[in-house]
C-alpha cells in the first residue's frame, strides 16, 4: 500500500465473516427505534424522512453567519429513509440512515470522516442510502466547532488549561467511535428490519482510510470488506511532517515566505520536472507524479539569478524551500 502525489491508491481488504449480532426485537416503525435500549447509549432519536432535500443539523458550537448559515449545505434528491441519531457515552455522535425495507440491499456501509473529524459525513451517508445501504457515520466523539479545537481542529486531544492529553477523547477518535458505529449501526438495522445485514463494508479516505485500517487490524470481524483510500496513519511522523514547512521557514527566514513566492517556485519545479523525470507523468500535468525524482534547484529562482523577477527568493528563502522539499531530519541528519 502506498500513495503517490496526484494519485490515490485504494486498498480493498477482504475479510472473514461478520461478528454475530445480539438478539434485538424488530421494531414496528422507524419512530419506535427511539425506545431501543442499547449498551452505552445515552440518547437516541428516530424519525422518518419523506425524501427530497435534507438539511444536516449543525454541530455543537457552530456559529452561523450570513454567508454560512449552516455548517453543511442541504442535500437534494434523497429517497425516503429512517434517520436515527444516537449518542454513545460520553459524547460520540453516530448517525444511522436506513432505507425503506423494499429499497434495502441487505448491506451495511460504514462511512469515514476527514481530518480531525468532529462532524458527521453527511454527503457520504446520502450517497450510500441512495444506493440502498443502511449506512452510518460518526463525529468520533467531539465537535469540530468546539472552542478549544482551534483552526486545525485537534484541540480536543488536550485538557485545558493544563495542556495534558485527553486520553478518553483520543481513544474515541482513534478507535472506539469506529467500533461503536459498526456495532450500533448493525443492531439498529436488525431492530428495524428483523434481520441484520448479509454483508457489511467500510469506505473512507484520508482519516476515513485510517479508520478502515484500524478496523481491519483490531476488529476484522465487523466488516466483510473495506475500501481505504489515502490512509492518514503513522501520526507520530505524519503530523510533525505537516508542521515542517513552518519550522523550516522560522529557522531559515524568521517569518513566512509569501504565498506568491511559494506558488512561483512550485510552478517552476513542476514545469521543469512534470513528464520529464521518468515517473510516468505527462508534460501537461500540473503536479509531480513522484517528487523524489525532481532535481529542480530552488536557487534557480534566487534574486541573484533572477533579479528582475518580483517573486525571486532571497538566499534565506532558497535555503528554507530546499529544507521544506528535503523533509525533516533528526539530529544525526537522517530523514524522518
Closest CA to 43 of 82, 108, 92: 92
pLDDT at 85 over 50: yes
Do 281 and 289 meet the contact criterion of CB atoms below 8 Å apart? yes
pLDDT score, position 165:
94
Pick from 38-52, 164-178, 265-279: least confident: 265-279
- Helix runs in 84-149, H state only: 122-130
| pLDDT tens-digit readout, 164-191 | 999 999 999 999 999 999 999 999 999 9
What pTM was computed for the model? Answer: 0.80
Strand order in the sheet with 81-88: 10-14, 225-229, 199-205, 107-111, 134-138, 92-99, 81-88, 41-49
pLDDT score, position 17:
43
Task: Say which residue the cell 523524489 belongs to.
Answer: 292
Give the residue extent of every domain in the chain. 10-233, 248-326
pLDDT at 335 over 90: no
List % helix, strand, coil for the chain (3-state, nearest 5).
35, 20, 45
Mean pLDDT to the nearest integer, 226-251: 91
The x, y and z cell numbers of residue 215, run together, are: 478496523
pLDDT score, position 15:
43
Pick from 40-49, 152-161, 206-215, 276-285: least confident: 276-285
Amino acid at each position: 500500500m502506498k500513495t503517490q502525489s496526484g494519485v490515490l491508491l485504494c486498498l480493498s481488504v477482504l475479510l472473514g465473516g461478520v461478528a454475530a449480532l445480539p438478539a434485538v426485537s424488530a421494531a414496528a416503525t422507524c419512530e419506535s427505534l427511539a425506545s431501543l435500549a442499547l449498551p452505552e447509549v445515552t440518547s437516541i432519536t428516530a424519525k422518518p424522512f419523506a425524501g427530497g432535500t435534507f438539511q444536516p443539523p449543525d454541530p455543537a458550537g457552530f456559529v452561523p453567519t450570513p454567508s454560512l448559515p449552516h455548517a453543511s449545505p442541504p442535500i437534494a434528491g434523497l429517497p425516503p429513509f429512517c434517520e436515527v441519531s444516537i449518542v454513545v457515552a460520553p459524547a460520540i455522535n453516530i448517525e444511522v440512515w436506513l432505507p425503506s425495507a423494499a429499497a434495502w440491499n441487505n448491506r451495511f456501509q460504514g462511512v469515514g470522516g476527514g481530518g480531525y473529524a468532529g462532524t458527521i459525513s453527511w454527503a457520504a451517508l446520502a450517497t450510500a442510502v441512495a444506493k440502498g445501504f443502511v449506512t452510518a457515520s460518526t463525529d468520533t466523539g467531539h465537535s469540530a466547532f468546539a472552542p478549544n479545537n482551534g483552526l486545525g481542529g485537534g484541540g480536543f486531544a488536550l485538557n485545558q488549561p493544563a495542556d495534558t492529553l485527553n486520553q478518553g477523547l483520543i481513544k474515541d477518535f482513534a478507535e472506539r467511535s469506529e467500533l461503536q458505529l459498526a456495532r450500533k449501526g448493525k443492531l439498529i438495522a436488525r431492530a428495524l428490519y428483523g434481520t441484520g445485514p448479509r454483508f457489511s463494508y467500510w469506505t473512507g479516505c484520508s482519516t476515513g482510510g485510517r479508520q478502515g485500517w484500524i478496523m481491519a487490524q483490531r476488529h476484522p470481524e465487523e466488516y466483510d470488506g473495506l475500501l481505504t483510500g489515502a490512509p492518514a496513519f503513522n501520526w507520530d511522523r505524519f503530523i510533525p511532517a505537516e508542521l515542517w514547512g513552518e519550522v523550516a521557514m522560522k529557522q531559515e527566514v524568521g517569518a513566512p515566505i509569501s504565498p506568491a513566492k511559494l506558488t512561483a517556485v512550485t510552478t517552476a519545479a513542476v514545469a521543469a520536472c512534470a513528464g520529464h523525470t521518468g515517473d510516468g507523468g505527462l508534460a501537461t500535468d500540473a503536479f509531480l507524479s513522484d517528487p523524489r525524482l525532481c532535481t529542480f534547484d530552488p536557487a534557480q529562482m534566487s534574486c541573484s539569478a533572477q533579479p528582475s523577477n518580483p517573486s525571486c527568493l532571497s538566499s534565506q528563502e532558497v535555503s528554507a524551500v530546499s529544507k521544506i522539499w528535503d523533509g525533516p531530519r533528526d539530529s544525526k541528519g537522517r530523514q524522518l
